[in-house]
C-alpha cells in the first residue's frame, strides 16, 4: 500500500510539474467523502470540546472547496477521549477512517484529553489538533516538509511548538481543491473496506539523541514471532493493535537484564478475518526482522515503539551494505541510514 501511495504521490508531482505549479501539495490518503458538503456529529463532551471541532470545520470550509459543519450523521463523529499513552501510543489526536472504493463510509476523530488538559495545550493548539484530524477525515495525509496543519506532531520533545500552523495552509488547500474541486483525479480503489488510523503525535524528536532521552529502552534484536491482532473492549477495528515477540540480543539503553529475554511490542493497526486496519505511520514487524527499537513500556508490561516508524530501525541486508563490516540500520520514518555505533553513541 505504501508503494502505491508513493507512486500516486509521484504522479501528482508530475501532474503539477506539467501544470507549471511550483508548490507541492500536502500528500493524500486514498479516500474522500462522497460529497463536498460534509456533516459530522459533534460528540464533544462540553462547550470547549464542541467548539474545537466547530472551529476546525469552519477552517476547512474556509478553503472554499468543501463545506463542513455539524449535523446528526452518526457515521462521522468527532469528540474527545482520555487515553493514557501507556495504554496505546503517544497521540494527542487520532482519526479512524473506514473506506471502500475510495469513499469514506465511517469516520471517528478524537482529541486526547490526556494531553489537551495539560497547560502546554492552549485552546489554540488544541483547535489545531482538531483541525489536523479533520484534515485526515477529508483524506489528507501528513506533511512534514512544508508549512502545513498536517504536520505529524504538535510539539518538539523540548516543549517548543512544532505545528505552528493551526489552519490549512496553501499546501493543504491545494490538496483539498484537488480532491473536492472540479479537477477529479483518480483514487486508489481498495475492493474491501479498510480502516485507516491517522494520529497526531504529541511530540516530535529533532534527532536521535532527543528520541533516546524520551524512551525507556533501546534494544537490538529480532522478531521471533508474530502474535497477530490484539483487540480491546468491543473489539472494534479502531482497537486493533498488532503484537510481536521481540528477542533482545543487546540492550543499548534501559534495563540490562532484558538481554536475551523476549518482550512483546505493540504497533497500531492489524488485520484478521474481520477487518484490515492500516496505519501508514508504522511498518508492521515481521518474523525474522532484525532491528533496533526505541521503546516505552505500557502499563500491561508490553512495549510500544514511540511514534511508530520514528522508533523502528531495520537492519539493512548484507547485499545492500557498502561496507559489510558495519552494521547499518534504516530509520523507517526518515529512511535515513545510521550505523549501530552511531545509535549507541546517542545515549552517551
Spell out where 84-235 has E strands. Answer: 91-100, 103-112, 153-156, 194-204, 217-230
State the sign of the Cα–Cα–Cα–Cα dihedral 165, 169, 185, 74. positive
Cell of 136: 485526515
CB of 306 to Zn ion, least distance (A): 15
Cα–Cα distance for residue pair 135/142, rounded to 1 Å = 9
Cα–Cα distance for residue pair 241/268, rounded to 1 Å = 5
Span between the terminal Cα atoms of the chain, in Å: 38
Closer to Zn ion by Cβ: residue 200 or 332: 200
DSSP-based three-state secondary structure for 287 = coil
Closer to Zn ion by Cβ: residue 128 or 221: 128
Closer to Zn ion by Cβ: residue 198 or 220: 198
CB of 339 to Zn ion, least distance (A): 30
Beta strands 290-297 and 328-331: pairing type?
unpaired
CB of 185 to Zn ion, least distance (A): 22
Closer to Zn ion by Cβ: residue 99 or 329: 99
Cα–Cα distance for residue pair 230/72, rounded to 1 Å = 32
Closer to Zn ion by Cβ: residue 126 or 200: 200
State the greatest distance between any 2 C-alpha atoms of the chain, in Å, as a whole number.
Answer: 62
CB of 109 to Zn ion, least distance (A): 10
Report which DSSP code applies to 72. S
Closer to Zn ion by Cβ: residue 5 or 15: 5
Cα–Cα distance for residue pair 250/2, rounded to 1 Å = 30
SS3 content of the chain, % helix, strand, coil (to 5): 25, 35, 40
- Chain centroid to Cα 207, Å, comes to 18
Question: Which residue has the CB atom at the shortest distance from Zn ion?
Answer: 200
CB of 12 to Zn ion, least distance (A): 19
Closer to Zn ion by Cβ: residue 163 or 241: 163
Is residue 50 within 8 A of residue 44, CB to CB? The reply is yes
Closer to Zn ion by Cβ: residue 107 or 244: 107
Beta strands 67-70 and 91-100: pairing type?
unpaired
Residues that bind Zn ion (CB under 5 A): 198, 200
Amino acid at each position: 500500500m505504501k508503494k502505491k501511495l508513493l507512486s500516486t504521490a509521484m504522479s501528482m508531482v508530475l501532474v503539477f510539474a506539467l501544470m507549471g505549479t511550483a508548490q507541492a501539495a500536502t500528500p493524500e490518503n486514498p479516500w474522500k467523502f462522497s460529497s463536498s458538503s460534509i456533516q459530522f456529529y459533534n460528540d464533544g463532551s462540553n462547550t470547549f470540546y464542541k467548539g474545537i471541532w466547530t472551529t476546525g470545520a469552519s477552517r476547512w470550509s474556509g478553503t472554499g472547496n468543501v463545506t463542513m459543519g455539524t449535523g446528526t450523521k452518526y457515521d462521522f463523529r468527532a469528540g474527545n477521549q482520555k487515553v493514557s499513552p501507556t495504554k496505546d501510543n503517544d497521540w494527542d489526536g487520532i482519526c479512524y477512517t473506514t473506506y471502500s472504493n475510495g469513499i469514506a463510509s465511517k469516520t471517528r476523530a478524537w482529541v486526547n484529553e490526556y494531553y489537551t488538559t495539560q497547560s502546554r495545550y492552549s485552546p489554540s493548539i488544541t483547535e489545531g489538533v482538531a483541525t489536523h484530524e479533520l484534515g485526515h477525515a477529508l483524506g489528507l495525509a501528513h506533511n512534514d516538509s512544508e508549512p502545513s496543519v498536517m504536520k505529524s506532531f504538535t510539539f518538539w520533545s523540548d516543549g517548543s511548538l512544532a505545528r505552528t500552523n493551526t489552519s490549512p495552509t496553501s499546501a493543504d488547500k491545494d490538496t483539498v481543491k484537488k480532491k473536492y474541486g472540479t479537477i477529479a483525479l483518480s483514487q486508489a480503489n481498495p475492493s474491501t473496506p479498510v480502516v485507516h488510523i491517522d494520529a497526531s503525535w504529541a511530540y516530535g524528536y529533532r534527532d536521535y539523541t532527543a528520541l533516546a532521552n524520551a524512551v525507556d529502552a533501546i534494544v537490538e534484536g529480532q522478531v521471533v514471532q508474530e502474535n497477530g491482532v490484539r483487540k480491546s473492549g468491543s473489539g472494534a477495528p479502531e482497537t486493533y493493535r498488532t503484537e510481536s515477540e521481540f528477542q533482545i540480543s543487546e540492550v543499548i539503553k534501559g534495563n540490562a537484564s532484558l538481554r536475551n529475554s523476549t518482550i512483546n511490542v505493540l504497533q497500531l493497526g492489524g488485520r484478521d478475518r474481520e477487518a484490515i486496519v492500516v496505519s501508514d505511520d508504522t511498518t508492521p514487524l515481521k518474523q525474522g526482522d532484525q532491528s533496533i527499537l526505541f521503546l516505552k513500556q505500557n502499563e500491561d508490561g508490553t512495549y510500544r515503539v514511540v511514534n511508530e516508524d520514528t522508533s523502528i530501525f531495520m537492519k539493512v541486508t548484507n547485499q545492500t551494505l557498502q561496507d559489510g563490516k558495519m552494521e547499518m540500520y534504516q530509520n523507517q520514518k526518515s529512511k535515513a541510514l545510521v550505523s549501530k555505533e552511531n545509535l549507541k553513541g546517542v545515549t552517551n
